[in-house]
Amino acid sequence: MTATKSRARDLRRHRRSRTHSCWGHLIIAPLWVAYDANLGTLLRTCDAVGACLAVPATAHYRAALAQGDTLRRRRPCIHWTRSKAGWIDEQRAAGWRIVAVELAEGATPLPRLAPAREPTVVLLGHEHHGVPDEIVEEVDECVEIPMVGVGSSLNVAVAGSLVLYRLAGLA
């Protein structure tokens, strides 16, 4: 195989004819994620795969995203939520499939995860406490990323990005 490295600007012009604001097919919801850097990383992944981001409408999340927003005015659509469980219930009632990314019994291993065929919300957990148990019990599907190392889990932004790429059909 012969490959020639492309400049990022040229790649963007050739492969992406339109930017997205809200396509309404994938929302990543780091509703419990605390660290600013993880929220900024997830915002970039949303842009890359054409997903939206949903976060609580609190001063912490607003400041973290303002700080971590390296995309500036071209950033993806952000859904600001009030109550976490209430917002998830609303999405479910509106026909969205709810998927949690979490280490759990009965979870789908990432290599077996199919691309999303219907509008899907992807929940991510807190860096120390994960997704609350009562939320995991109610989701349509839980996805676990297999690991062989000594660590017990991945960084949450890495985990969310891997799952989003898969659901978007890009990996």
Ligand X SMILES: C[S@@+](CC[C@H](N)C(=O)[O-])C[C@H]1O[C@@H](n2cnc3c(N)ncnc32)[C@H](O)[C@@H]1O
Contact positions vs ligand X (CB under 6 A): 101-103, 124-125, 127-128, 130-131, 144-145, 147, 153-154, 156, 159
What is the C-alpha to C-alpha distance for residues 82 and 45, in angstroms, rounded to an integer?
A: 23
Q: How far is the CB of 168 from ligand X (least distance, A)?
A: 17
Q: Are 164 and 49 in contact (CB under 8 A)?
A: yes
Residues in a beta bridge with 141: 99
Q: In terms of CB distance, is 31 or 49 closer to ligand X?
A: 31
Q: Are 51 and 26 in contact (CB under 8 A)?
A: yes
Which residue, among 56, 49, 57, 55, has the nearest Cα to 26 in the 3D structure? 49
Q: How far is the CB of 147 from ligand X (least distance, A)?
A: 5
Which residue, among 119, 169, 164, has the nearest Cα to 145 in the 3D structure? 164
Q: How far is the CB of 78 from ligand X (least distance, A)?
A: 19
Q: In terms of CB distance, is 47 or 102 closer to ligand X?
A: 102
Q: In terms of CB distance, is 163 or 168 closer to ligand X?
A: 163
Q: How far is the CB of 5 from ligand X (least distance, A)?
A: 31
Q: In terms of CB distance, is 65 or 122 closer to ligand X?
A: 122
